[in-house]
Amino acid sequence: MRKLLLALLIVVFSGVLAAPGWLRWGEHADEGFTRYVFELPLGTPYQVERNGAVLRVRLGLDVAKAEALKPQDPAVERIELVPQNGGGSEVRFYLQPGASAKKYFVLEGPDGKFRLVQDFLHPKKGAAAPPPKPKPPTPVVVLDPGHGGPDPGTVGYVVEKEITLDVALRVKKLLESHGVKVVLTRDGDYDLAPKDVQDFYQRKLIDLAKRAKMTEGKRNLFVSIHVNSAEKPARGIEVYYLGKTLDSRVLKLAITENGGGALGVKLTKEASTTAEKALADLIAQGNLQFSERLANVILADLVKDTGSTSRGVHSAPFYVLRNARIPAVLVEVGFANHPVEGRQLARADYRQKIAQGIAGAILQVLGNGSGKTARR
């Protein structure tokens, strides 16, 4: 009586329910398996079914009620005894991660019983937990706020170098909140030429070459940000990728953005030659296609977010895009000298919309969500 009481207490306090008399098990730790033995009256119908992490044994044997057992076994996490509607019962073995079931076998005893033996292999050491997934590398985006320092860029209702920096810093913040690393070609009002270089065009050449060089290394995307200007009143957004152009207006824009004057003409020719070579090179060609796609996504998102006009995606010989082996585009976010758009560009809330359009498009192209999340 005392023995029974003690056994009951153990059962209650360990939280483990007693197995029925016809099921017992023993762990063979050294051999790496646990053996479960059903001891059944001769002639008891049985059926064993393995299905992934669950093994079911159907028995022509009734259990009083549904029950769950915790066998404290490295191979089996839980056993459920489930009475079946039409009579009989099902015993479900839920395997531990990494454990597996061997094929059962049957032993006939001399005592009017037979034994259904089911072995479960323990998970291999260190194989229990799935290996941690390698973290995908953090994408790196280069943002290039056009101009800076002695070169203000175009001046209208706004000063280009101020707008490009402000927009770039806003895009950076949005991208970083989505786990994208951002490299800026400049983060203040300066250019990249050494202090002792006096000549404006010499400075410009060094500056543009250094910016173009910043597309190299482990970078995924390059976006140069600029503000447009026009002799005839014009407004809207245009996005460029590297290529040649037959459009005299676009060519003129490229010469201006490439430093203007004789330098602008020279660098535009160089970029044009590079673009021509790229068209004969399969890898460079593929990259230009990615750039064109990036340009289209940026344009679509910018027009949607700002309500501005689309002036299309074009190719042009921009020197800053020349070296890129990654998708690289130049965005003209609007016209500084347009009476409506120029004043819009002067407003922080409008520049935030521009930044959201650019960031959303970049996230979309990087496959980092739909890009919708950047819009708040």
Question: Can residue 334 be called a binding residue for Zn ion (CB under 5 A)?
Answer: no
Q: 160 with 148: CB under 8 angstroms?
A: no
- Span interacting with Zn ion, options 59-67, 222-230, 236-244, 285-293, rule CB under 5 A: 222-230
If the CB atoms of residues 73 and 160 are measured against Zn ion, the closer one turns out to be 160
- Span interacting with Zn ion, options 146-154, 178-186, 246-254, 295-303, rule CB under 5 A: 146-154
- Span interacting with Zn ion, options 69-77, 81-89, 249-257, 322-330, rule CB under 5 A: 249-257
If the CB atoms of residues 153 and 264 are measured against Zn ion, the closer one turns out to be 153
What CA–CA distance (Å, rounded) separates 170 from 189?
16
Binder of Zn ion out of 139, 153, 342, 357 (CB under 5 A): 153
Binder of Zn ion out of 170, 203, 226, 322 (CB under 5 A): 226
Q: What does the DSSP 8-state code read for residue 230?
A: -
- Map residues 54-93 to x or -, x wherever contact with Zn ion holds by CB under 5 A: ----------------------------------------
If the CB atoms of residues 122 and 186 are measured against Zn ion, the closer one turns out to be 186
What CA–CA distance (Å, rounded) separates 67 from 129?
28
What CA–CA distance (Å, rounded) separates 217 from 205?
21
Question: Can residue 211 be called a binding residue for Zn ion (CB under 5 A)?
Answer: no
Q: What does the DSSP 8-state code read for residue 291?
A: H
- Between CA 89 and CA 96, with CA 93 as vertex, the angle to 5 degrees is 170
If the CB atoms of residues 76 and 167 are measured against Zn ion, the closer one turns out to be 167
- Between CA 45 and CA 49, with CA 48 as vertex, the angle to 5 degrees is 140
Binder of Zn ion out of 71, 145, 146, 360 (CB under 5 A): 146
DSSP symbols for 142-206: EEEE--BTTB---BSSSBHHHHHHHHHHHHHHHHHTTT-EEEES-SSS--SS-TT---HHHHHHH
What is the total count of residues that contact Zn ion (CB under 5 A)?
4
Beta strand 310-316 pairing with 237-242? parallel
- Span interacting with Zn ion, options 2-10, 41-49, 114-122, 254-262, rule CB under 5 A: 254-262
Question: Can residue 257 be called a binding residue for Zn ion (CB under 5 A)?
Answer: yes
Residues that bind Zn ion (CB under 5 A): 146, 153, 226, 257
